[in-house]
Amino acid sequence: MQNYKELGLKAGLEVHQQLDTGKLFCACPGYLRNEEPHFSITRRLHSVAGETGEVDAAVAYEASLGKEFVYQGYRDSTCLVELDEEPPHQINPHALEEALKIALLLNCDIYPISQIMRKTVIDGSNTSGFQRTVLIAHSGFVETSFGNVPIETIALEEDSARIVEKHDKNSVYRLDRLGIPLVEITTVPAMNDPNQIKEAALKIGEILRACKVKRGIGTIRQDINVSIKGHDKVEIKGFQDPSMMVKTVEIEVERQKKDKKKEGEVRNALEDGISEFLRPLPGRARMYPETDLPLLRISRDMINDLKKDLPKLKHDIRDELKKKGLSDELIGLVIEGDLDEFEVLLKVYSKDANLVGKMVSLWRAEFASKTKKSVEEIKGILNESVLEKVLENVASGKIHEGDVKRVLLKIVEGTPVHEALKVEKVDEDALEEEIRKIVAEKPGLRANAYMGMVIQKLKGKVDARKAMEILNKIVDNKKG
């Protein structure tokens, strides 16, 4: 087993997460398309000097390859901004708000004024040859079991074009992804063990999912910066799943121990944990100011307003649901399902959180299986207003909690709501009389066995809780 402390392992994360808003610098929609593109254009990459007057080494390397780039677009969702034929529009306010919420949840300080920058793109994945990016926050932290991991910076930037085909001398990109807002979170290289990297990535992921972000493969991309004592930083790109981080870092440490050059570079993460060379490590020479946009100003009032409405994190929600009496099984189902619906319905009937939890999660799935309908169809039938009506009848005493599941199943099977809610009941005296008859006919059984007989005989015309109370009393008396 490696002694990572002795090796001087230092690792940091860069997390790139797409936001679920329109594009960052134009009014185009931010979604991917599968239809045949309407048009294509061809460009070549030329190296240009950055703000320092120097040409970045990574830029010079890519330009020397003489590649040709083809960009595919759509007439109804690709605009002149994406084609680099029109200046960018003002920054998308919805994307900015979500990025600021993420920064606040990561305990960062917000920059009141920031310059939107151009970052030279060296692989042809942007029609302009650069990516627009703006620093919005700094000096935060994320809490982990091994201590706080410092957050160095948070930036808001535009995503690159989507690769469709890649060959030695040409690449084909699609412009549907170009310009989708990305939040880039960079940690300090303060982690000294591969498992710490994985945990920090998962913690950051939990915070991101509490905000308005896109979900699914390709919507989050994670890079790791890794170095050991005596070796320059190596950036490993392309993680979709944090579970591969541990193995990849372990293999990279072994590679760096044997590396005679000791030089930094950018590598691509492969599925088996091995990485491959991509290009030299980029430097600061690829950054220069965006001249088509004014300075970004973020007011104290805007930050204070956002603080009032920050989303809750999953572990906080779990604690709150547990306090409300929800079982561990239902907590997971409710969080992954419709939490807002659960909260609304709990205000209608707050006596039993587990009943409400079953209505919005467990029973819908069960009814879908019984009736061969999809869960979405069941949700359409048992929508929030229907569930609210049923719970109102429970709260008023018109039906009992034990009747709810049967009432919901009747509604799913086509019974009108008002008819399903007409639950015929046996009065308490008659119920006790029937139970005594059943017990007398088959003495010596357990209460649960009698309960099945009662339900079968009375065909749902019974309050199950009251029936069990009577049964326990009768059975206990018989034992006495």
218-235 residue pLDDT tens: 899 999 999 999 999 999
* Mean of pLDDT values over 175-195: 97
Average pLDDT over residues 436-453: 78
Task: Please report the pLDDT score of residue 463 as a whole number.
Answer: 63
Tens digits of residue pLDDT in 378-400: 999 999 999 999 999 999 888 88
Separation between Cα atoms, residue 461 and residue 454, nearest integer Å: 10
Q: What distance lies between CA 100 and its chain's CA centroid?
A: 17
Tell which residue, 117, 45, 33, 132, has the closest CA to residue 81.
132
CB atoms under 10 Å from CB of 144, counted, come to 15
pLDDT at position 460: 57
Q: What is the pLDDT of residue 120?
A: 84
Q: How does residue 459 score in pLDDT terms, banded at 50, 70 and 90?
A: low
- Furthest-apart CA pair in the chain: how many Å? 99
pLDDT at 283 over 80: no
Can you tell me the mean pLDDT for 411-416? 93
Give the pLDDT score at 51. 63
pTM reported for the whole predicted model:
0.74
Report the sign of the C-alpha dihedral through residues 449, 454, 457, 459, in that order.
negative
Task: Please state, in angstroms and rounded to a whole number, the distance separating the CA atoms of residues 166 and 404.
Answer: 58
| DSSP letter string, 277-317 | EEEEPP-GGGEEE-TTSPPEE--HHHHHHHHTTPPPPHHHH
* Average confidence (pLDDT) over 339-356: 91
Confidence category of residue 480, pLDDT binned at 50, 70, 90:
low
The alpha-helical segments, DSSP class H, found in 372-446 are 375-381, 384-395, 404-412, 417-420, 428-441
Q: For 197-211, write each residue's pLDDT tens digit.
A: 999 999 999 999 999
Any idea which of 189-203, 228-242, 314-328, 416-430 has the lowest mean pLDDT? 416-430
Higher pLDDT, residue 136 or 436: 136
Q: What is the pLDDT of residue 240?
A: 80
> What is the reported pLDDT for 163?
94
Residue in this structure with the two tokens 């018989």, named with its chain if needed:
478
Is the pLDDT assigned to residue 424 strictly greater than 70?
no
Q: Say which residues have a Cβ less than 8 Å from residue 102's Cβ, sequence separation at least 6.
A: 17, 154, 183, 185, 207, 208, 211
Residue ranges of domains in the chain: 4-303, 312-420, 428-479
Percent of the chain with pLDDT over 70: 92
Res. 466: pLDDT tops 80: no
- Phi and psi at 347, nearest 5°, equal -70, -30
Mean pLDDT of all residues in the chain? 89
Better-scored residue on pLDDT, 403 or 188: 188
What are the tens digits of pLDDT across the range 29-69?
Answer: 999 999 999 999 998 876 666 666 777 776 677 677 778 99
Q: Which of 88-102, 123-137, 417-431 has the lowest mean pLDDT?
A: 417-431
Please report the pLDDT score of residue 465 as a whole number: 67
Which range among 81-90, 224-233, 468-477 shows the weakest confidence by mean pLDDT? 468-477
CA distance 46 to 128: 10
Q: Nearest 5°: phi and psi at 341?
A: -65, -45
Is the pLDDT at 455 greater than 90? The verdict is no
Q: State the pLDDT at residue 403.
A: 85
- The residue-averaged pLDDT of 234-247 equals 90
- Mind listing the pLDDT tens digit for each residue in 286-318? 788 999 999 999 999 999 999 998 988 888 888
- Determine the average pLDDT of the residues in 160-183: 94
